[in-house]
């Protein structure tokens, strides 16, 4: 494999996104919050969205995320939160996991649900935004608390994002 191929393949792009994740962390003044968990793998992702007015349109100003999930979900959330800037609710709602992860290249079949986790968190946030803004209760509940709540008690925690951790999880998933 050449150096060019190594840098251009999806796994290298995912690793690069993990080394420098964008928009990671809770947003205190968010207008909308969405949380989603995967029943299949137990991973969980929360997304915060802040809107602004631009040329008479309400568009996404910023989006941030936290994840108890695999590296691929974190990488997709990183690129997706960048991609969402300037999108209206309708435009963002229409985006699939494949579109949100497009800059990473085509994901292997075992990783497609990781992008769908990000899509789910986005849809959850936007559907709430259409009817109500984030409640104080939702902002005070951390992702870890949600993960440990009764409804999630059967799920197992797989990984807490640490940039320097070994990448055993993705290697195992790729098999």
Neighbours of 124 (CB within 10 A): 18
Interaction between residue 114 and ligand FES (CB under 6 A): yes
Contact 124, 138 (CB under 8 A): no
Minimum distance of ligand FES from residue 130's CB (angstroms): 25
| CA-CA-CA-CA torsion sign (159, 20, 101, 144) | positive
Contact 34, 47 (CB under 8 A): yes
Interaction between residue 101 and ligand FES (CB under 6 A): no
- The residue whose two tokens read 């008690």 is 153
Minimum distance of ligand FES from residue 38's CB (angstroms): 5
Interaction between residue 128 and ligand FES (CB under 6 A): no
Q: Of the residues 47, 75, 104, 114, which is catalytic?
A: 114
Paired with 120 in beta bridges are none
| Structure token pair of residue 160 | 């807490």
Interaction between residue 173 and ligand FES (CB under 6 A): yes
Contact 55, 170 (CB under 8 A): no
Interaction between residue 26 and ligand FES (CB under 6 A): no
Q: Of the residues 14, 33, 41, 73, which is catalytic?
A: 41
- Which of 47, 60, 63, 73 forms a contact with ligand FES (CB under 6 A)? 73
Interface contacts to ligand FES, rule CB under 6 A: 38, 41, 43, 69-70, 72-73, 113-114, 117, 173
Catalytic residues, by residue number, are 41, 114
């Amino acid at each position: 494999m050449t150096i060019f191929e190594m840098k251009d393949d999806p796994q290298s792009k995912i690793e690069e996104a993990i080394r420098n994740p964008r928009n990671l962390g809770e947003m205190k003044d968010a207008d909308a919050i969405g949380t989603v968990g995967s029943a299949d793998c137990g991973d969980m992702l929360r997304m915060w969205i802040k809107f602004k007015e631009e040329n008479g349109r309400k568009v996404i100003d910023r989006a941030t995320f936290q994840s108890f999930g695999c590296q691929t979900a974190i990488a997709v959330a990183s690129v997706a939160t960048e991609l969402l800037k300037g999108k209206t609710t309708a435009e963002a709602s229409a985006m699939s996991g494949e579109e949100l992860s497009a800059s990473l290249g085509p994901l292997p079949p075992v990783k497609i649900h990781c992008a769908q986790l990000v899509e789910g968190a986005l849809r959850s946030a936007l559907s709430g935004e259409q009817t109500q803004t984030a409640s104080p209760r939702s902002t005070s509940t951390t992702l870890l608390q949600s993960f440990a709540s009764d409804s999630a008690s059967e799920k197992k925690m797989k990984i807490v994002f640490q940039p320097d951790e070994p990448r055993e999880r993705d290697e195992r998933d790729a098999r």
